[in-house]
Amino acid sequence: MVTRLKKFFSGTYLGLMLVFLYAPILILIVFSFNQSKTLGNWTGFTFDWYAQLFRTPEITDALVVTLSVAAISSVVATVLGTLAAIGLHAMKRRDKLLLENISQLPMVNPDLVTGISLMLLFLFVGLKDGYTRLLIAHITFNLPYVIFSVLPKLRQSSDMLYEAALDLGCTPMQAIQKVVIPDIMPGIVSGLIMAFTLSLDDFVISFFAGNGVDNLSMYIYASARRGVNPALSTIIFVPVVTLLLIVNLKSIREERNAELQSSKVGMKR
């Protein structure tokens, strides 16, 4: 009885928290099928908002900018960052510590300060192109996340492997390509994913460092007062949730299988 009551209360609490986290988005999604312009006043079902979404060049442009900046900046940051991690890992302790600490700056710095500092630099050197500015800014704030997800993997793997590859006749480049990189692949992939999602989501740094070319966050901010097309929330929400569920369900299923396996082994013993 007591455990059941406990279960009921914990279920209710978690449910309420989920409602708190999802309600605003879900309500926006529901009303993206509403004919009326005002929220909370249901006048009939329609796909008009969606049709309008794809007819609004500001939105489609912002979508393209967001996705392309995320793709390019995360790939560039992953390549640069992985190489950097391999290099840092092989450095002397003192140099490594210094560089690691500087690398942490964009993570420690408030986004606002990072954005403004980049804005000052771009103004100082006279770089005007908004898209290039966004790319540079995103690569810069993505880099530390890649480096610090690759470095732990390098620490786990053995330096011997690299040296063995050299002894067996690999050039350093080949050794990195064929031995080191496969060994640290999980770190590289998680760095890439993190960089991509961070880039998709960024507002503050883009807002200050950018110049005229808007990503989705900047578009939403700029049009918040006159209202944003509610269909946009569906366009953003559904793919993210689906993707994350697919990725996680796979790992959860693996975990459950592993659990079953280990319990079987336990029984045998």
Partner 1 sequence: MKRTDAKKPKSAGGMHVRRSVFAYPYVVWMAVFIVAPMLLILYYAFTGDGGLTAGNILQAANWDNMRVLLDSVRFALYTTVLCLLLGYPVAYLLSQMKKATAALLSVFFIVPMWMNFLLRTYAWKVLLGAFSNMLYTESAVLLGMVYNFLPFMILPIYTTLIKLDRSYIEAAADLGANPTKTFLKVVLPLSMPGIISGITMVFIPSTTTFAISQLLGGGKTMLYGDLIYMKFITEQSWNAGSALSVILLVFVLISMTFMKKAERTTGDEGGGRLW
Tell me which residue of 244, 240, 243, 237 sits closest to 25, measured CA to CA. 237
Tell the residue number behind the tokens 């690569």, with chain if given.
Answer: 139
CA separation (Å) from 51 to 56, 98, 238? 9, 53, 17
Q: Using the minimum distance from each CB to partner 1, give the nearer residue, 58 or 163.
A: 163
CB 90 to partner 1: min, Å? 4
CB 16 to partner 1: min, Å? 10
Q: Which two tokens stand for residue 252?
A: 């959860």
Out of 30, 72, 75, 80, the residue judged to bind partner 1 by CB under 8 A: 80
Q: What value, to the nearest 5°, has the Cα angle with vertex 142 and ends 140 and 143?
A: 70
Q: Is 33 a residue that touches partner 1 (CB under 8 A)? A: no
Contact letters for partner 1, residues 103-122 (x by CB under 8 A): xxxx-xxxxxxx-xxxxxx-
Q: How many CB atoms lie within 10 A of CB 200?
A: 19
Tell the residue number behind the tokens 């309008």, with chain if given.
Answer: 52
Q: Which two tokens stand for residue 53?
A: 């979404």
Tell me which residue of 105, 111, 109, 136 sits closest to 211, measured CA to CA. 136
Out of 5, 38, 45, 267, the residue judged to bind partner 1 by CB under 8 A: 38
Out of 34, 73, 78, 140, the residue judged to bind partner 1 by CB under 8 A: 140
Give the burial class of 237: count Cβ atoms within 10 A of its Cβ; 0-12 exposed, 13-18 middle, 19 or more buried. middle
Q: Using the minimum distance from each CB to partner 1, give the nearer residue, 18 or 185.
A: 18
Residues pairing with 169 in the sheet: none
Contact range with partner 1 by CB under 8 A, out of 45-53, 54-62, 78-86, 184-192: 78-86
Dihedrals φ, ψ of 120, to 5°? -60, -40
Residues 159-188 that bind partner 1 (CB under 8 A): 162-163, 166-167, 172, 176
Q: Using the minimum distance from each CB to partner 1, give the nearer residue, 173 or 267.
A: 173
Residues 229-268 that bind partner 1 (CB under 8 A): 230, 232-233, 236-237, 240-241, 244-245, 248-249, 251-252, 255-256, 259
DSSP-assigned letter for residue 227: -
Out of 102, 168, 185, 189, the residue judged to bind partner 1 by CB under 8 A: 102
Residues 191-210 that bind partner 1 (CB under 8 A): 197, 200-201, 203-204, 207-208
